[in-house]
A and B are shown apart, each in its own frame.
Chain A
Amino acid sequence: MMKPPVFIAGIGVISAIGNNVAENLAALGKEAAGIGEMTNLHSVHRRKLPVAEVKMSNEALAAIAGLPVEVTRTALLSAIAVKEALQSAAIENIRDLRTGFISANTVGGMDKTESFFEEFSGHPQKGRLRDVVYHECGAVTELVADKIGIKNHIATVNTACSSSSNAIFMGARLIRQNRLDLVIAGGTDALTRFTLNGFNTLMIVDRQYCQPFDENRRGLNLGEGAGYLVLVSDKIAAMLKQSPLCVLSGACNANDAYHQTASSPGGTGSYLAMKGALERSGLQPRDIDYINLHGTGTQNNDIAEGTAIKLLFDGHYPPMSSTKSFTGHTLGASGGIEAVFSVLSLQYGLIYPNLRLETPMKDLPFVPEKHFRKGVPVRHVLSNSFGFGGNCSSLIFSKL
Chain B
Amino acid sequence: MYLQAAAGISPQPSFEQICSSPVVYPGNRLSCIEPDYTRRIDPRMIRRMSRIIRMGVAAALDCLKASGIGMPDAIITGTAYGCLKDTEVFLSKMVENKEDLLTPTAFIQSTHNTIGAQIALLLKCHNYNNTLVQRGFSFESALLDAISLLEDREAKNVLVGGIDELTDTSFALLSRFGSYRRSLADSTSLYEEQDRGTIAGEGAAFFLVSGEPSGNDYAKLEEIDTFYKPGGANRTEAYIRDFLTAHGIRMEEIDLVITGRNGNAKDDAVYEQIERAVFKDKATARFKHLCGEYPTASSFALWLAAHCLKEKKTPAGILWSGMEAAPRRILIYNHYQNTHHALYLLSAC
Q: Which 5 A-B pairs have the closest CB atoms?
A: A389-B117, A198-B107, A138-B135, A201-B104, A158-B112
A-B pairs with beta carbons under 8 Å apart, 23 shown: A114-B95, A117-B92, A121-B91, A121-B92, A129-B173, A129-B176, A136-B81, A137-B112, A154-B228, A156-B132, A157-B131, A158-B112, A159-B116, A159-B130, A173-B152, A177-B148, A255-B129, A257-B126, A258-B121, A268-B126, A269-B126, A389-B117, A390-B129
Chain A residues near B118: list those with CB within 8 A: 260, 389
Shortest Cβ distance from B45 into chain A, in angstroms? 11
Seen from chain A, the residues whose Cβ lies within 8 Å of a Cβ on chain B are: 43-45, 106, 113-114, 117-118, 120-122, 124-125, 129, 132, 136-139, 141-142, 145-146, 151, 154-160, 166, 170, 173-174, 176-177, 179, 193-194, 197-198, 200-202, 253-261, 268-269, 272, 387-391
CA distance A390 to B125 in the complex (A): 10
- Determine if A177 and B152 form an interchain contact, defined as CB atoms under 8 angstroms apart: yes
B229 at interface, CB cutoff 8 A: yes
Stretch in B18-26, B137-145, B212-220 with 4+ CB within 8 Å of A: B137-145
Count A-B pairs with CB separation below 8 Å: 177
| Chain B residues numbered 97-132 whose CB sits less than 8 Å from any CB in chain A | 98-100, 102-104, 107-114, 116-118, 120-121, 123-132
Residue among B95, B108, B132 making CB contact with A261, cutoff 8 Å = B108
Q: Which of B100, B129, B145 has the most CB of A within 10 A?
A: B129
Chain A residues near B149: list those with CB within 8 A: 173
- Determine if A201 and B103 form an interchain contact, defined as CB atoms under 8 angstroms apart: yes
User: Quick one: given A137-B133, A158-B133, A177-B148, are A121 and B95 in contact (CB under 8 Å)?
Assistant: yes
- Determine if B102 and A201 form an interchain contact, defined as CB atoms under 8 angstroms apart: yes
B175 closest partner in A (C-beta): A124
- Determine if A170 and B145 form an interchain contact, defined as CB atoms under 8 angstroms apart: yes
Seen from chain B, the residues whose Cβ lies within 8 Å of a Cβ on chain A are: 75, 80-82, 90-92, 94-96, 98-100, 102-104, 107-114, 116-118, 120-121, 123-135, 137-138, 141, 144-145, 148-149, 151-152, 169, 172-173, 176-177, 227-229, 339
User: Quick one: given A151-B228, A154-B228, A257-B125, are A388 and B130 in contact (CB under 8 Å)?
Assistant: no
Chain B residues near A197: list those with CB within 8 A: 90, 94, 99, 102, 107
Shortest Cβ distance from A263 into chain B, in angstroms? 13
User: Quick one: given A122-B96, A136-B81, are A160 and B113 in contact (CB under 8 Å)?
Assistant: yes
- Determine if A154 and B134 form an interchain contact, defined as CB atoms under 8 angstroms apart: yes
- Determine if A272 and B152 form an interchain contact, defined as CB atoms under 8 angstroms apart: no
Residue among B117, B129, B137 making CB contact with A253, cutoff 8 Å = B129
Chain B residues near A193: list those with CB within 8 A: 94, 99
- Determine if B126 and A255 form an interchain contact, defined as CB atoms under 8 angstroms apart: yes
Chain A residues near B138: list those with CB within 8 A: 138
CA distance A154 to B144 in the complex (A): 11
- Determine if B124 and A388 form an interchain contact, defined as CB atoms under 8 angstroms apart: no
CA distance A122 to B130 in the complex (A): 35
Known A114-B95, A136-B133, A389-B116; further 11 A-B contacts with Cβ < 8 A:
A117-B95, A129-B173, A129-B176, A170-B130, A197-B99, A257-B124, A260-B121, A268-B126, A388-B114, A389-B117, A389-B129
- Determine if B145 and A257 form an interchain contact, defined as CB atoms under 8 angstroms apart: no
